[in-house]
Amino acid sequence: MCSVVGYIGKSLCKGFILEGLKRLEYRGYDSAGFACLDSESKRLLYAKSEGKIDVLYQKISSQALDGYIGMGHTRWSTHGVPSIENAHPQFDCQKNISIVHNGIIENHTELKNILESSGHTFHSDTDTEIIAHLLENLLLSHQTFKAALIDLVNKLEGAYAFICMIQNFPNEMVVVRKRSPICIGIGDNEMFIASDLLAFANKTNKVLFLPDESFTIIKKDSIQLYDFSGKPLIVEAQEINAYWQNIEKNDHESFMIKEIYEQKNAISKTVNFYKDLSTTIWDNLGLSPEFIKNLNNINIFGCGTSWHAAKIAQFFFEKICLIPTNIHLASEFRYMPFFPDKNSLYLSVSQSGETADTLEALRMVTSLNCHVITITNIASSTMVREANGFLLTQAGPEIAVASTKSFSAQLTALYWLSNRLAFEKNIINLNQMHVAESDLLICAEALENTIENYKLLIINELAKKYSLYRKFIFIGRNISYPFAMEAALKLKEISYIFAQSYPAGELKHGSIALIDENTPIVIFSVLDDIIYQKLLSNAHEIKARKGHLIAFAFEHQKELINLADQTFIIPKVNPLLAPLAMTGLMQFFAYQIAKTLGRNIDQPRNLAKSVTVE
C-alpha cells in the first residue's frame, strides 16, 4: 500500500528517504517518487518511476538531486493506472506545492470539476493531485497559511495522510492525518515523517503519532499541531524503541518460503510468550474478572487471511469456552446494523494492525463503549493504540505479501485465548490449559513434518502437474471449510490461478455442475468422525462424476486416502487444531505451483500487504 516518507532538518535527505521507502517496500506498491528542495537554490527537484524503488534509485543515484527538505512515496494505485504521471509527488499548476499521499479523497470528482472550471489543468488521474490544486487556490484566497490549511482539510473528504512541501515556504512542511496512519520522529534539529515508524527506527525513539483529524506545520526544530478547526493541540511524543533489522532471505529463494518454514518457531514463540504473561495477561487485554464472568458473546472481525483465522477460531470459542461467537468481515461489518453489547467481547484480528477496514470497524465498536481486543503481530500498530487491549502474536516480521506465519500465529493466539478464557470461567482446569499449550506445540511439529514428508514429491512432480490446471475448487466441512477458504486465497494470491472454495455439503446444491477432469478439487478433512463420514460422501459424489480429487486426509482415514487421486497424509492432532496441522503443506503446495509458473511470489501483482484504504 502507499507509503509516505519525509524529512526536514540538518542533513541531506535523499539517502534517508530512499532507505525509508525501502524499509516499507514489503507493504506492496507499483511506482515510486522522490522530491526535495535543492539545498542551495531551494528550487523543486523531483524524479518518479514506474515499478520498484530500485528503478528510482538508479534514476537518481548519480544526479545531484538532494536537499534538506524532501519527501518520497511508493504508490499502490487506486485512482489511475501505475505510471510516471500518476506516481507521487503530485503538483499544483505552478509546481510550487508538492504532495505525497496515502488514502483516498472521496469527493475528488466534485473538487476536480470545480478546480477545472476555475482554470486548473490536471496532469494525472489521481485524487492526490486535487489536494495540490485546491491548496493553490486557497493560498490565494486566505490571509494566512494556517487559514488556508484549515479550509483545505475541511474540504477534503475520505481517509488520508499526506505530506506537503511548498517551494515558497522552504523551511516548513505540512503533515495531515485523517484516519490513515502517519507519525513524526523527532530528532535533534531534524524531523522524520513516515506512514510507519519503521522508516525512521534507529534514527530517533521520540515519536509523535498524529491524532485523527489533525495537521501540523513542522520546522526542523518545532511542531505546531492543530485539529481541523485550527485549535492548537498538545500531544506528548512517545518513547518507542523500534529497531530496524534488515530482514534477509538468508539461504531461502524467497521470503514466503522462509516464512513458511518459520511457522514452527512462530507457534512455539507465541505459546511461550503467553505462558510468560501469566497473570499480567488481563492487564494487556484490559479485561476484569467481572467482565469475563458476565461474558455472553464474542464477535471477531478481520479481513483476508485474518478473517479466515477468525472463522476457524469460531470453533475454538464455541467448543472450548462455550460462548456463542460471530465472525464478521470487517469491510461489511461497518455497514451492517450494529447492536452494541456491553457483555460481548470484540476481537479485531490483523497481522499489520493497520488494515483500514478492520481499523474502522474497531473504531465503530470502541466509539460505542464496547470492549475491543486486537490480536496483531505489530506492537506499534494503530490498532494496538486504539483498542482497549491487545494480544501480540510472536511471528516476527512477515515480509512476503501473502500471509503464512502470521496466520498460524493468529490461530495459536486465538486457540490459546479461548482456553485461557475457559480456564478463567472454570470450564477447564489448569492441567487442561497445559495440555492445550502442548497440543499447539505438537501441532507445530506436525505442520513442519508434513512439509518435509512431501517436499520432494511436490517439487519434483506435483507442482509441475498442477500448475497446468487453470482453475481449482477447494472444499471442507465444519472447521475445515474456512481453512479451504484460506487455501483458495493462497493459491489465487500467488499463482493467479482461479480458485473457489465451497462448503463440501453445498456442492450438490449447484457448484457440482463445475466438476470435470480439468478442475482439481482439493478436499480438507476433519478429525470429527461424524463430519468425516459426511465429507467422505461428498468425496464419493465427486469421484462418481470423474472429478480429480486431491485430499488432505488424516493418517487413519483409509477410505478417503484410497479414494483420492492424490493424497497428503497429515498426522493426527487435537481435532480443533487440524487446520493448523495442514497449514504448512497447503501453503507449500500453493507456493510450488506459483513458483513453477514463474510468479513474483513475495510481491504478487496488484496486492498490498498493509491495506490502508477502504
Catalytic residues: 2, 609
Which of residues 260 and 611 has its CB atom nearest to ligand G6P in the complex?
Answer: 611
Closest contact distance (angstroms) between CB of 403 and ligand G6P is 4
Sign of CA dihedral 255, 257, 262, 267: positive
Which of residues 358 and 592 has its CB atom nearest to ligand G6P in the complex?
Answer: 358
Q: Which of 31, 355, 374, 412 binds ligand G6P (CB under 6 A)?
A: 355
**Contacts of 210 by beta carbon, 8 Å cutoff, 6+ apart:** 161, 175, 177, 182, 183, 184, 216, 225, 235
Any contact of residue 303 with ligand G6P (CB under 6 A)?
yes
C-alpha cell at 202: 534507529
- Torsions phi, psi for 166 (to 5 deg): -125, 125
Which of residues 26 and 568 has its CB atom nearest to ligand G6P in the complex?
Answer: 26
Q: What distances in angstroms separate CA 559 from CA 535, 552, 553, one per listed residue?
A: 11, 12, 10
Any contact of residue 148 with ligand G6P (CB under 6 A)?
no
> Pairing relation of β-strands 158-166 and 97-105?
antiparallel
Specify the stretch interacting with ligand G6P by CB under 6 A; choose among 37-45, 215-223, 243-251, 606-614. 606-614
Which of residues 235 and 379 has its CB atom nearest to ligand G6P in the complex?
Answer: 379
Any contact of residue 304 with ligand G6P (CB under 6 A)?
yes
Any contact of residue 306 with ligand G6P (CB under 6 A)?
yes
Cβ-based burial of 152 (10 A; exposed 0-12, middle 13-18, buried ≥19): buried
What would the 3-class secondary structure string for 262-322 be?
Answer: CHHHHHHHHHHHHHHHHHHHHHHHCCCHHHHHHCCEEEEEECHHHHHHHHHHHHHHHHHHC
C-alpha distance across the termini of the chain, in Å = 11
Which of residues 185 and 302 has its CB atom nearest to ligand G6P in the complex?
Answer: 302
Site for ligand G6P in 332-351 (CB under 6 A): 350-351
Contact 146, 230 (CB under 8 A): yes
Cβ-based burial of 118 (10 A; exposed 0-12, middle 13-18, buried ≥19): exposed
Any contact of residue 313 with ligand G6P (CB under 6 A)?
no
Any contact of residue 402 with ligand G6P (CB under 6 A)?
yes
Contact 404, 388 (CB under 8 A): no
**Triad 86, 603, 399: Cα angle to 5°:** 115
Chain position whose Cβ is nearest to ligand G6P: 304
Which of residues 76 and 589 has its CB atom nearest to ligand G6P in the complex?
Answer: 76
Sign of CA dihedral 416, 271, 350, 7: positive
Q: Which of 214, 270, 305, 557 binds ligand G6P (CB under 6 A)?
A: 305
Q: What distances in angstroms separate CA 95 from CA 35, 66, 109, 129, 166, one per listed residue?
A: 11, 17, 21, 11, 9
Which of residues 18 and 364 has its CB atom nearest to ligand G6P in the complex?
Answer: 364
Specify the stretch interacting with ligand G6P by CB under 6 A; choose among 29-37, 102-110, 398-406, 524-532. 398-406
Q: Which of 254, 403, 418, 592 binds ligand G6P (CB under 6 A)?
A: 403
Distance CA 238, CA 240 (A): 6
Closest contact distance (angstroms) between CB of 27 and ligand G6P is 10
C-alpha cell at 107: 469527493
Any contact of residue 135 with ligand G6P (CB under 6 A)?
no
C-alpha cell at 340: 452494541
Q: Which of 24, 225, 257, 401 binds ligand G6P (CB under 6 A)?
A: 401
Specify the stretch interacting with ligand G6P by CB under 6 A; choose among 190-198, 260-268, 289-297, 301-309. 301-309
Distance CA 82, CA 162 (A): 19
Any contact of residue 384 with ligand G6P (CB under 6 A)?
no
Any contact of residue 352 with ligand G6P (CB under 6 A)?
yes
Which of residues 86 and 403 has its CB atom nearest to ligand G6P in the complex?
Answer: 403
Sheet containing strand 325-329, edge to edge, reads 325-329, 297-302, 344-350, 371-376, 389-392
Site for ligand G6P in 358-377 (CB under 6 A): 358
Site track for ligand G6P across 243-282, x = CB under 6 A: ----------------------------------------
Specify the stretch interacting with ligand G6P by CB under 6 A; choose among 360-368, 401-409, 453-461, 530-538. 401-409
Query: Which parts of this chain interact with ligand G6P (CB under 6 A)?
Result: 302-306, 350-352, 355, 358, 401-403, 607, 609, 611
